[in-house]
A and B are shown apart, each in its own frame.
Chain A
Amino acid sequence: MATDEDLMRAVAAGNGDALERLCHRYERPLYQFLVRHIGDSDAEDLHQETWLRVVRHAPRFDPNRRFSTWLFQIAVNLCRDWHRRPPPMPIDPEIADRAERDTSEAASATIDLERLLRALPEPQRAVVLLRLYHDFSEEDAAEILNCARGTVKSRLHYALERLARTVKTEDTHSQ
Chain B
Amino acid sequence: MTHDADRACTALRLATLRGGVLDARATEHLAGCRRCAHEHEGLHALGGRLRMLAPEPPTSLMRRTLDTAAPALAINAGHVAWRPLVRAIGAALLPLPAIVITSAYALRALYGLLATVLPETLSLYLVLNYAGLLALCAALTYGAVPLLAARQARLTHEVAHG
| Interface check B28, CB cutoff 8 A | no
Contact present for A48 and B64 (CB under 8 Å): yes
Contact present for A13 and B160 (CB under 8 Å): yes
Chain B nearest CB: distance from A67 CB in Å?
15
Query: Interface code B39-63, partner A: CB below 8 Å = 1, 0 otherwise?
Result: 1001101100110011111100110
Report A-chain residues with C-beta under 8 Å of the C-beta of B54: 32
Contact present for A164 and B13 (CB under 8 Å): yes
Chain A nearest CB: distance from B149 CB in Å?
17
Contact A13 B57, CB 8 Å, known A23-B65, A163-B43: no
Task: Out of B39, B56, B74, name the residue touching A168 (CB < 8 Å).
Answer: B39
Report A-chain residues with C-beta under 8 Å of the C-beta of B32: none
| Interface check B76, CB cutoff 8 A | yes
Report B-chain residues with C-beta under 8 Å of the C-beta of A56: 72, 75
Contact present for B39 and A51 (CB under 8 Å): no
Contact present for A14 and B62 (CB under 8 Å): no
Report A-chain residues with C-beta under 8 Å of the C-beta of B14: 131-132, 156, 160
Report B-chain residues with C-beta under 8 Å of the C-beta of A11: 73, 76
Chain A nearest CB: distance from B88 CB in Å?
18
Contact A52 B53, CB 8 Å, known A23-B62, A59-B76: no
Task: Out of A13, A43, A113, name the residue touching B50 (CB < 8 Å).
Answer: A113
| Interface check A6, CB cutoff 8 A | no
Report the separation of the CA atoms of residues A92 and B127 in the bound assembly, to the nearest whole angstrom: 87
Report the separation of the CA atoms of residues A14 and B73 in the bound assembly, to the nearest whole angstrom: 5
Contact present for A13 and B62 (CB under 8 Å): no
Other 5 A-B pairs with CB < 8 A, given A14-B76, A28-B56, A132-B18: A14-B73, A20-B62, A32-B55, A157-B6, A168-B38
9 residue pairs of the A-B complex, CB under 8 angstroms, read: A19-B69, A20-B66, A28-B57, A31-B56, A55-B76, A56-B75, A131-B14, A153-B7, A167-B42
